[in-house]
Structure 1
């Protein structure tokens, strides 16, 4: 399945170039499995959907480890039927879930419970968009039920959900929301903002 993300990283410091370049190098482990393209606005990563959030996590954790206030903005997509540059992006029609919604919520919770902690506190807010026909609101409500039981749920906001906690479980929660809700081969998009070391709580 065609999946990828457009990500932009914003370190709030004078040496933002050094922080960004070091963060991008943190994705070297994933380069054999990804197409990675960087321009003056964002970095595109295209590759296996289950590796997208680990790659974004490592990039952001590297930047946050500098201690400066960092923000990451990302648009993440899987199964997009309209990408002009890759013929494999057409979703497979007629797919169905192997597990019930309740079983998927349980599996997602178990995965987050096993996520390794990184020692970096982050806050994130995101919106999930399972596109196409079908019971998309059932998928969204199921995802919300999962988020509330994830251990990193902060609160519901207008148009999005806020998470807070260690980067390991937070990014594991984001990955599970992306992978387990919405049609398995359908088009699912996720809009994400992550922040670390913000002076606002202080």
Structure 2
């Protein structure tokens, strides 16, 4: 299986370079477990979902430590049939989750969010889960939404996406669980995610 993410960070400040570089510095502890490639548009990260989502969280939380409004856009994919298998993407949770009843997967996902580390950075996220190439795919999506509503991070539903709010630790864990526990273990599943911190809009 191939698991990866493309991330682009957008600091809303004229002095944006230090904010981006600070976020990239937060990826240093993950470079031995993920393939990380950065160019002038985005950063690609390939590897297992455990370090992948931790790295995404730390990348954004570090950038959000700057007082400027900052947003992140990410596309995350697993099981894309157009990509070669990569042994670094091995994921035990996917294998364990395969065939488990939906209610059990929801309980396991909620427990993972409860155990998420507290980062001390409040963020907002909206994202969409896409379960591709499967009949009755909406059953998995509705099951994921029910989990999110019970996760403690749910803010509201929107057209085509779900809005989350809370500490970066819990929010990124909720997104990781959505990615891992819903949709077939060997199927193609993607996320489209936008995160925001320090927005002036609520003020």
The normalised TM-score by structure 1 is: 0.93
Counterpart CA distance in 2 for 1:144 and 1:88 is 30
Counterpart CA distance in 2 for 1:39 and 1:100 is 41
Structure 1 runs of 4+ aligned residues shifted over 3 Å read 86-89
Counterpart CA distance in 2 for 1:158 and 1:197 is 24
Q: Offset of 1:116 from its aligned partner?
A: 1.3
Q: Offset of 1:53 from its aligned partner?
A: 1.3
Decide whether the 8 Å contact of 2:34 with 2:51 is kept in 1.
Answer: no
Counterpart CA distance in 2 for 1:117 and 1:25 is 20
Q: Offset of 1:136 from its aligned partner?
A: 1.1
Is it true that 1:3 corresponds to 2:3 in the alignment?
yes
| Aligned match of 1:129 | 130
Q: Offset of 1:142 from its aligned partner?
A: 0.5
| Aligned match of 1:163 | 164
Counterpart CA distance in 1 for 2:86 and 2:111 is 31
Moved more, 64-73 or 96-105: 96-105
Deviations for 1:97-124, whole angstroms, at most 9, x for unmatched residues? 2421100000000000111111111000
Deviations for 1:8-66, whole angstroms, at most 9, x for unmatched residues? 00111122111101111101111111111111111111111222211100000000011
Counterpart CA distance in 1 for 2:85 and 2:124 is 36
Decide whether the 8 Å contact of 1:49 with 1:78 is kept in 2.
Answer: no
| Aligned match of 1:92 | none
Counterpart CA distance in 2 for 1:40 and 1:143 is 34
1:180-191 matched pairs, under 5 angstroms: 180-191=181-192
Decide whether the 8 Å contact of 1:130 with 1:187 is kept in 2.
Answer: yes
| Aligned match of 2:48 | 48
| Aligned match of 1:29 | 29
Q: Offset of 1:201 from its aligned partner?
A: 0.4
| Aligned match of 2:59 | 59
Counterpart CA distance in 2 for 1:53 and 1:144 is 19
The number of residue pairs the alignment matches comes to 195
Q: Which runs of 5+ in 1 are unaligned?
A: 90-94
Decide whether the 8 Å contact of 2:73 with 2:194 is kept in 1.
Answer: yes
Q: Which runs of 5+ in 2 are unaligned?
A: 88-94
CA RMSD of aligned residues (A): 1.4
Counterpart CA distance in 2 for 1:126 and 1:141 is 14
